[in-house]
Structure 1
Amino acid sequence: MSNEYLEMMCEVMKMLYLRGLISSTGGNVSIKLDDNTIAVTPRGFSEYPKFMLRPEQISIIDMNGNHIRGWPPTTEVKLHIAVYRVCKDCKAILHTHPLILPFLPPNVELPIDTELKYFLEPKICWVEELRPRTEDLAQATASKVKEGCNIIILQNHGLVTTGRTLMEAVERTEAVDLASKRFLVLKLLSKYLSA
């Protein structure tokens, strides 16, 4: 197993924290290593923030959720497994907590720029508010992915993005987070200019 993937996951967690997309203990990332093995960030520990993760702490599990090595997996492990089960092209999943996006009205039209629209092929879906860390949330998210969605907004909770690579999932996360900020700015500007 290549340590390169685990190192990349650690760097991504650091970047997500610096961008304000995860907290010290919240948010998670996974990579599907092969048909039966997933590398996933460990659950949050208050004494060890996620932006300081090291490769040996990344949790390795199988598709049934059995822990193979590393630290215990994220408490959202059901969500990651459920998505991988329905999406053969998904090789990476990010679950983040953007500031604005989860609190926008469902199905709002987000202004995604044309370059990202054509190269990232974003398909945005919404999942109603469900209790975190549950099978209900995992299955609701997986059903949207099965429909072809690669950006899933969890109402009043967070965001899930998938990718054929880890960086594709990262780019989708950044693109939709930026779109939510543009949406808010445009709304404020239109209100100000029409006053």
Structure 2
Amino acid sequence: MSNATTEHQLRQRIATLGQRLYARGLSPGTSGNISVRFDEQRWLCTPTNSCMGELEPEEISLLDWEGNHLGGEPPSKEYFFHLAYYRHRPAAQAIVHLHSSYSSAVACLDDLDPHNALPPITPYFVMRIGNLPLLPYRRPGDVRLGDDIARYAPKHAAVLLANHGPVVTGKTLDATVSAAEELEETAKLYLLLRDKPYRELTRSQIEELKEVFGAEWES
């Protein structure tokens, strides 16, 4: 995160992007959470039981890298899996977790490839998300989810929690939110196409995206 970006600016941006996600119907009720690295000592996370559409910047939680609560309201009960992602994926500067309808619907299907829950049907999915592993179901707040994410974080920018929803990381807060929105649109397309013949991107097309845009995809 740039030294020029102040804590106040980050809090304001989290609140603004939370409103955007809520307005699009991607975080109903008090579901979902957002976090962002602030500096080498601290990070910010949306509070527990908070509505994304009504976030108050000063209430957003401030934590250290041991997970200690330093300021604001108490963090999301799922803060621990954000911490696991940050610890095991240094490139991750922000994390968005949603209960968005189409992605969550895909997470409930019983015939998914656990190594790649969604196929490469659009270039933007390949570029912004990459391979999307399906993690096993855990009840909300189960700390074992942190261990699950730790195993996948080094090689995957996003994961799908079975019967739950997506967790997406990115190199900036804005890019992470955009990637989460892209994932939701891909899930929608996949469900619309599910009972129809459709084309996936070919291996050569994916290789081109890797070469030109640095996409992360393991064929």
Is 2:160 aligned against 1:126?
Answer: no
Q: 2:184 aligns with which of 173, 177, 187?
A: 177
Partner of 1:145: 153
Is 2:123 aligned against 1:114?
Answer: yes
Shift of 1:50: 3.1
Shift of 1:31: 0.3
- Counterpart of 1:100 in 2: which secondary structure? helix
Is 2:4 aligned against 1:8?
Answer: no
Quote the Cα distance in structure 2 between the aligned partners of 1:160 and 1:180.
14
Shift of 1:70: 0.6
Quote the Cα distance in structure 2 between the aligned partners of 1:12 and 1:26.
14
Partner of 2:175: 168
Normalised by the length of structure 1, the TM-score is 0.87
Shift of 1:111: 4.8
- Listed one character per residue, the Cα deviations across residues 49-90 of structure 1 (whole Å, up to 9, x for unaligned) are 331111101100111111111111111011111111111111
Partner of 1:39: 44
Normalised by the length of structure 2, the TM-score is 0.78
Residue identity in the other structure for 2:185:
L
Residue identity in the other structure for 2:88:
V
Is 2:66 aligned against 1:64?
Answer: yes
Q: Between Structure 1 and Structure 2, which shows a larger proportion of strand residues?
A: 1
Unaligned runs of 5+ in 2: 1-5, 198-219
Conservation of the 8 A alpha-carbon contact between 2:120 and 2:126: no
Residue identity in the other structure for 1:158:
G
Conservation of the 8 A alpha-carbon contact between 1:111 and 1:180: no
Partner of 2:143: 135
Q: CA RMSD in A?
A: 1.7
Quote the Cα distance in structure 1 between the aligned partners of 2:194 and 2:30.
32
Residue identity over aligned pairs, in percent, reads: 29
Residue identity in the other structure for 1:167:
D
- Counterpart of 1:143 in 2: which secondary structure? helix
Number of paired residues? 185
- Listed one character per residue, the Cα deviations across residues 12-60 of structure 1 (whole Å, up to 9, x for unaligned) are 1111112222122111000011122110000015xxx331111101100
Conservation of the 8 A alpha-carbon contact between 1:61 and 1:69: yes
Shift of 1:112: 4.0
- Listed one character per residue, the Cα deviations across residues 125-146 of structure 1 (whole Å, up to 9, x for unaligned) are 1101112212101110221112
Quote the Cα distance in structure 2 between the aligned partners of 1:75 and 1:88.
22
- Counterpart of 1:25 in 2: which secondary structure? coil
Q: 2:28 aligns with which of 23, 26, 41?
A: 23
Residue identity in the other structure for 2:179:
R
Conservation of the 8 A alpha-carbon contact between 1:153 and 1:159: yes
